[in-house]
Amino acid sequence: MSTCSDTVNGRTVSDIVWSCLTTIFLCTWVAIHPNIPAPYESSLEIGLRRLGIVIMALIAPEIIILLAMRQWIASRRLAKEHHSEGWTQTHGFVALMGGFMLFNGDKALYTLSPKELDRLWRNGKIEFPKISKEDIEDKSKGDIISKGFVIIQTTWFVLQCIARGVEGLAITELELVTLAFAVLNLATYALWWNKPLNVQRSIPVRLSDEGHVSNQAIKEEEVHGMFNRAAQRIIELWSSQFWERILLPKSPSGAMTADGFTTGAKKVSSFYAGDRGHDVWNATLPSAAFAVIFGAVHCIGWSFEFPSHVHEILWRTCSLVITCMPVAMVSLVKLIHILLGIRDRRDDIAADVSEIFRNGVGVMAGIILPILYVVARMILLVESFLLLKSLPPGAFQTVQWTTFIPHV
């Protein structure tokens, strides 16, 4: 392994790893804005769910930018629809987070979707929730200082990578991986800037007629313990179709069209972004563009010096895969919609043929390509650490002016 003899004007491998891991941590754990948990969930459940989202962000960060884009568009739409009630985009985000809980007296019934909230209000069942943007922000665990810290660290990392490229200094593969996270994180953070962070309790919305309680709401009052809920969830997944309940919702194609709202539940899913069909393509196309940029950053390493031809082929191939995958996924999902239209409009052999093709394309978009993508991502992550063993001398030199920018 190469080392840097000038530790004053240089850096070590541990310095490189520390700056990269710190930036990746900020781009995943700190930057994630989760939805509001159910009132009966424990801190352990909340933490495990967030950990799961972080792992997904590490493997497929494009899904996070798609979620943020869908929520940003939906929250702006909700703010416009309820502008006369004083709503801002922050109110729209709260509604999408599961931030309004229907109460019958002091009893929590279920989380209100934006559509259900609007329906009950227009039917005179509830009073429209009156809460100011300042009160919502008071519930948020994030402020301009904490958010600014994330942005400063991310911006510093991007600038120092650009500066290294301008001065002809070597950039490590781990820094390329981190740079891709940083670029995507800046976009995600901008989209979620007005979204409250780590809110733990919903805002109560009380029925005007406290005697009006739906049968569904009464059914939802029974809440099992954490381990019983986990066991019940496992049984449901085991007895359900593998395609519909496990693979599809976690794939990019599922994230593009997933609804994620269960009527009568006391929370929304981690990836709820409004009713299905609202602004899906308006969010998908720019998100796909960001995803292509994310993959293209890895392609910067195309001309890097690798210790062996195998490492070179692996890096180049996997970089191409994650760069081209968003375009392939969007194209396949669009093709599925076209085939569905043919099936619905025709009742002859063309409908049967389109259904067969749709199933084949669905397997490709929902199973094969996501598995290929995950494999490519894992290879790139592993390679970025393995290649630290054979860095060129230029990788240990620093751009002096970037050290004056506050960072960790």
- Please say if the pLDDT value at position 4 is more than 50: no
259 HSE (CA, 13 A, CB side): 11
pLDDT (tens digit, 9 = 90+) per residue, 363-372?
A: 888 889 999 9
- Please say if the pLDDT value at position 3 is more than 50: no
pLDDT (tens digit, 9 = 90+) per residue, 119-174?
A: 999 988 898 998 999 999 888 887 677 778 888 889 899 999 999 999 999 999 99
- Please say if the pLDDT value at position 221 is more than 60: no
Q: Lowest mean pLDDT: which of 46-55, 307-316, 324-333?
A: 46-55
Split at pLDDT 50, 70, 90, the class of 1 is: very low
- Helices and strands counted in the chain (H then E): 17, 3
- For the residues 402-407, what does the mean pLDDT come to? 72
Q: Which residue bears the tokens 């009966």?
A: 40
The pLDDT score that the predictor gives to residue 341 is: 81
User: Considering the chain, what is the average pLDDT of its residues?
Assistant: 82
- Please say if the pLDDT value at position 233 is more than 60: no
The pLDDT score that the predictor gives to residue 366 is: 84
pLDDT (tens digit, 9 = 90+) per residue, 332-355?
A: 988 888 888 887 777 778 777 888
* pTM for the whole structure: 0.82
- For the residues 359-382, what does the mean pLDDT come to? 91
Split at pLDDT 50, 70, 90, the class of 32 is: confident
Among candidate residues 139, 51, 81, 8, the one with its CA nearest the CA of residue 278: 81
Among candidate residues 188, 247, 180, the one with its CA nearest the CA of residue 63: 188
| C-alpha distances in Å from residue 53, one per residue of 60, 148, 234, 253, 368 | 10, 22, 18, 17, 22
Which amino acid makes up residue 323? T
- For the residues 243-253, what does the mean pLDDT come to? 45
94 HSE (CA, 13 A, CB side): 29
- Tokens at residue 336, please? 């599925």
Q: Lowest mean pLDDT: which of 48-57, 69-78, 204-213?
A: 204-213
